[in-house]
A and B are shown apart, each in its own frame.
Chain A
Amino acid sequence: AQSVTQLDSHVSVSEGTPVLLRCNYSSSYSPSLFWYVQHPNKGLQLLLKYTSAATLVKGINGFEAEFKKSETSFHLTKPSAHMSDAAEYFCVVSDSNYQLIWGAGTKLIIKP
């Protein structure tokens, strides 16, 4: 069965420093992988999606993620954090029936 683990419930970085949000998945086949972001009092928004094309996926707002099959990881990165990046981020994997399996979320805190 497919599963997804977000390794950190909270990540705190200073503005202008790099962001790394970690995600590991378990799948018996080649899944689709997603990152969604949830800003306070706003709806979830798709950041980026991997669907077996390029392993380095670029998303909105300067975020990118790299699919590493050997490590079963799909970590989300950004070179320089901005205050507006403060939000909760969800890693999502699809199962063989295209259903989405959501991680528990990582809250990103940006220090001024």
Chain B
Amino acid sequence: EAGVAQSPRYKIIEKRQSVAFWCNPISGHATLYWYQQILGQGPKLLIQFQNNGVVDDSQLPKDRFSAERLKGVDSTLKIQPAKLEDSAVYLCASSTNPLPTDTQYFGPGTRLTVL
């Protein structure tokens, strides 16, 4: 079974530029999560999707971050414009069930550096 795929693996941009990350979850997984992991910290949930609907985006900085999962399969997370403090690893996870306490399967992450 293929795991969660993310691309790109690394991205370096300058502040005020825009960037997009892509995630393809495990086939059949209806629930998809985006996390931000700043160096030295645990992951912080940004947004949770159930199929193509948003379940929780309470911690998503909506003035600059957006995410979509239009067909209920793969998803894109965008930052526009980027700030220095957005430097982090962005993790995508998927699950068969909608409760965050159910097992989540994580991708390798995208490491973003904002200069």
The interface of chain A, by Cβ under 8 A from chain B, is: 9, 32, 34, 41-46, 49, 51, 90, 92, 94, 98-100, 102-105
The contact size tier of chain B is 20 to 34
Contact check, A102 vs B43: say whether CB atoms are below 8 A apart: yes
Interchain Cβ contacts under 8 Å between A and B, 30 examples: A32-B101, A34-B101, A42-B108, A43-B93, A43-B105, A43-B106, A43-B108, A43-B109, A44-B43, A44-B93, A44-B104, A46-B103, A49-B103, A51-B101, A90-B43, A94-B100, A98-B100, A99-B45, A99-B56, A99-B100, A100-B45, A102-B41, A102-B43, A102-B44, A103-B42, A104-B40, A104-B41, A104-B42, A105-B40, A105-B42
Best-buried of A34, A44, A92, A98 by chain B (most CB within 10 Å): A44
| A9 and B41 alpha carbons, distance in the complex (Å) | 10
Within residues 86 to 115 of chain B, which ones have a CB less than 8 A from any CB in chain A?
91, 93, 99-101, 103-109
Contacts of B40 in A (CB 8 A): 9, 104-105
